[in-house]
Chains A and B, each alone.
Chain A
Amino acid sequence: MTDANLSFLALCVLPIFFLIFLKLIVRPRPIKIPIKSRHVFITGGSSGIGLALARQAAAEGARVTILARDLNKLEKAKNSIRLSTGIDVNIVSVDVCDFQAVKEAVENAGPIDVLVCNQGVFVAQEIVNQDVKEIRGMIDVNLIGTINLVRAALPGMKNRSDRKPVSIAFMSSQAGQVGIYGYAAYSASKFGLRGLAEALQQEVIADDIHVSLIYPPETKTPGLAKARKTMSRLTSIITASSSEMEADEVAKKALNGIKSGCFSITCNLVGLLLSIATSGLSPQRSYLMAFVEVITVGAVRIVALCFQWSWYRAIEKWHAH
């Protein structure tokens, strides 16, 4: 056999062996999480991505509970979902920062099959100018609020009578994959969710509980509109690197990801690059995605460094004025 033929054979056969190796190795194993006729519990469900998720889950035949602070907004959301899908969702008015209240709400709601911790506040501002109370508020709602929900729901999930696979999903953000000018406190809270998720998955896998992180880009929601008012222009310049999405599109990607038990759910192309680059030590349940990660992570690191180059140049230019 000539060298060229041998090389060609190796080039074709090696990837196949590697794919088989990955298929045997990836943990946790792939899973499917059914939604129909199951109880989906969505926090921050009265607006934005949470509302879109609630609507889509209800339309797919799930029993839906939405949790938020403001009872009026909850009623409006409930009516909106009834109008568009004909289905009634349960509403619960609770502050996620109050562990006792969360515990009672979760117990009243009955066994939860899909817990979506989607509540979040988001104020983009340079940390030197941001009020300490506002920073604490973001950590409280985004991070501690989610810990409260997990702590409240976990015993019930672990001891459930129906042993079908269940899901705990955290709404993160692309700002939870890379820290950006103006996002210091928000990124801190969202990065924290990932740390929580990676360890939590190991702690709950034995009970057939599956953890997912959803990483949307900036999404057209009331939350974003409010943040835009105080956001530094420099932050907007830098985040323009990733295209904005509609809440419904994000909800669709999120729901598909949750149903396939995906650990890192991406929503657009930049999101895919971010997920590959930051795959780090996260588990990967799809051997195909694992293959893509291994082959491309080096090249994507170059892309990441190019992004940082353009961002730091924008920062230099900004301060030169």
Chain B
Amino acid sequence: MADIHFSYLAFGVLTFLLIFLKLIIRPHPTKIPIKSRHVFITGGSSGIGLALARQVAAEGARVTILARDRNKLEQAKNSIRLSTGIDVNILSVDVCDFQAVKEAVESAGPIDVLVCNQGVFVAQEIVNQDMKEIQGMIDVNLTGTVNLVKAALPGMKNRSDRKPVSITFMSSQAGQVGIYGYAVYLATKFGLRGLAEALQQEVIADNIHVSLIFPPETDTPGLTKAKKMMPRLTSIMAACSSAMQADEVANKALNGIKSGSFFVFCNLEGLLLSIVTAGFSPQRSYFMAFVEVIFSGLVRIGVLCVQWTWYGSIEKLHA
């Protein structure tokens, strides 16, 4: 008898929690249309950026891709034309140069979806890493994104068409958890999250929506290059999460952007990471909020176990 009463009580509490969360979550949920709108993707000549550009073009958006290397951009443009029949605009710019970024953004016309996807990553113990390489990662991944936001924001704020628009940052699962060898890369990706949380508060009044995408290791030229130099310990730990194809990641990313989600995860490990790192980030889906509340305690236990195995591996390697 008491068991049944307890079940009813539990059910009642959970239902109340769901309703409470639905009323409380901010910012409000939103949908961001892509068709016939201008999507601007940096790092768009290869990897996830190229896959995104292809999918977005196929969905009827007007696409601009930005990267440094003009040859790669031409190749990317041809590749997209071959597979979708659509022509994208290409811009050869270094995101580290604010003036150049500003001019490029202004020449491209009003932007509806800004995807800051450019990134470099070199995994190495910080004590061995070259200062120039460290500066390079911070410049491209963090300062480059700041430049893009600064360049595009005035136009977005003053746009005549007041439909919802998006600013999206490509982060990484290696941007949610500290892994041996990724110290500086992690610093840049954590920095993007801090930027995003504050930025969302600053731009919500203009119907601008911020998203962070957290892919796992993705099969891209960038990853292949990094794997050559990666410390063994880094490979051991990063193997915890399964690698994905660029197209799959782009698909998940696009859906996340269109639903205005703040955190966009790409696989199961990503979901668990998003739950446990929810912290004080905004959550626009009351259902996801519910999942976070119920499961973050359990996932934290999982995390402590994973830390136990990682630190065990470190001890073994140095023994």
Contacts and interface: CB of A to CB of B under 8 A. Distances in A.
A278 B300 CA distance: 11
B292 to A, nearest CB: 5
Interface string A178-208: 1111111101111111111111111101100
The residue among B187, B189, B276 with the most chain A CB atoms within 10 A of its own CB is B187
Classify the interface of chain A: helix, strand, loop or mixed.
helix
Given A128-B153, A132-B146, A144-B135, A151 B199 contact: no
A307 B187 contact: no
A276 to B, nearest CB: 9
Contacts of A311: 26, 201
B140 interface: no
Nearest to A144: B138
B190 A312 contact: no
Contacts of B218: none
B44 interface: no
Nearest to B154: A128
Contact of B201 (A195, A198, A295, A315): A315
A298 B294 contact: yes
A183 B157 CA distance: 18
B305 A281 contact: no
Interface stretch (B77-85, B124-132, B221-229, B250-258): B124-132
Contact of A283 (B25, B277, B307): B307
Interface stretch (A20-28, A68-76, A81-89): A20-28
A181 B202 contact: yes
Contact of B296 (A155, A196, A290, A297): A297
Classify the interface of chain B: helix, strand, loop or mixed.
helix
A52 B303 CA distance: 36
Nearest to A126: B202
Contacts of B317: 206
Interface string A199-239: 11111011000000000000000000000000000000010
Interface string A287-314: 0001001111111011011111101110
Interface of B: 2-3, 17, 20-21, 24-27, 98, 125-127, 129, 131, 134-135, 138, 142-143, 146-147, 149-150, 153-154, 157, 175-184, 186-205, 273, 276-280, 282-283, 289, 292-298, 300-301, 303-308, 310-312, 314-315, 317-318
27 contacts: A4-B2, A22-B304, A26-B307, A27-B310, A27-B311, A127-B202, A132-B146, A143-B187, A151-B131, A154-B127, A178-B280, A179-B193, A181-B202, A187-B197, A189-B191, A196-B126, A199-B178, A200-B183, A202-B179, A278-B279, A280-B277, A280-B279, A281-B177, A281-B307, A293-B297, A295-B297, A298-B293
Closest CB pairs A-B (n = 9): A198-B178, A179-B197, A191-B194, A195-B190, A179-B198, A187-B194, A195-B186, A278-B279, A312-B26
